[in-house]
Amino acid sequence: MRVTVVGAGVVGTMHAWQAVARGHQVVQIEREAEARGASLRNFGQIWVSGRAGGEELDTALRARELWEETGARVPALGFRANGSLTPVRGPLELAVAEAAVARADAAARGYRLLTPGEARALNPALRGEFTAALHCERDAAVEPRTAQLALRAELLKSPDYTFLPGREVREVVGAGAVRDDHGDVHRADAVVLCTGAWLGGLVRELAGPDLPVRRVRLQMMQTDPLGEPLTTSVADADSFRYYPAYASPALDELNARRPQPATAAEHRMQLLMVQRADGGLTIGDTHEYEHPFAFDTVEEPYEHLAGVVESLLGRPLPRIRRRWAGVYAQCTDPGRVVHRQQVSDGVWLVTGPGGRGMTCSPAIAETTANELGW
Tell me: pLDDT of 217 over 90.
yes
Strands 84-88 and 177-180: unpaired
Tell me: pLDDT of 72 over 90.
yes
pLDDT band at 36 (very low <50, low <70, confident <90, very high): confident
Fold of 84-137+213-331: D-Amino Acid Oxidase; Chain A, domain 2 (3.30.9)
d(CA 206, CA 311): 49
pLDDT digit string (tens) for 136-154? 999 999 999 999 999 999 9
pLDDT digit string (tens) for 74-94? 999 999 999 999 999 999 999
- 284: part of which helix (H) or strand (E)? strand 281-284
Q: Which of 253, 251, 232, 224 is nearest to 240 (CA)?
A: 251
Q: Compute the CA torsion angle 278, 284, 290, 296 (nearest 10 deg).
A: -60
pLDDT band at 289 (very low <50, low <70, confident <90, very high): very high
Q: In what order do the strands lie in the sheet with 169-174?
A: 169-174, 177-180, 185-187
Domain boundaries, the chain: 1-81+141-212+333-374, 84-137+213-331
Whole-number percent of the chain with pLDDT over 90: 96
d(CA 306, CA 86): 16
pLDDT digit string (tens) for 153-174? 999 999 999 999 999 999 999 9
Tell me: pLDDT of 123 over 90.
yes
pLDDT digit string (tens) for 225-242? 999 999 999 999 999 999
Residues whose CB is less than 8 angstroms from the CB of residue 2 and which lie 6 or more positions away in sequence, other chains included: 24, 25, 26, 27, 176, 187, 188, 189, 190
pLDDT band at 113 (very low <50, low <70, confident <90, very high): very high
Whole-number percent of the chain with pLDDT over 70: 100
The mean pLDDT of the chain is 97
- Given 3.40.50.300, 4.10.220.20, 3.40.50.150, 3.50.50.60, which CATH number is that of 1-81+141-212+333-374? 3.50.50.60
pLDDT digit string (tens) for 341-369? 999 999 999 999 999 999 999 999 999 99
Q: What is the mean pLDDT of residues 248-275?
A: 97
d(CA 201, CA 343): 14
Whole-structure pTM value: 0.97
pLDDT score for 334: 82
pLDDT score for 335: 83
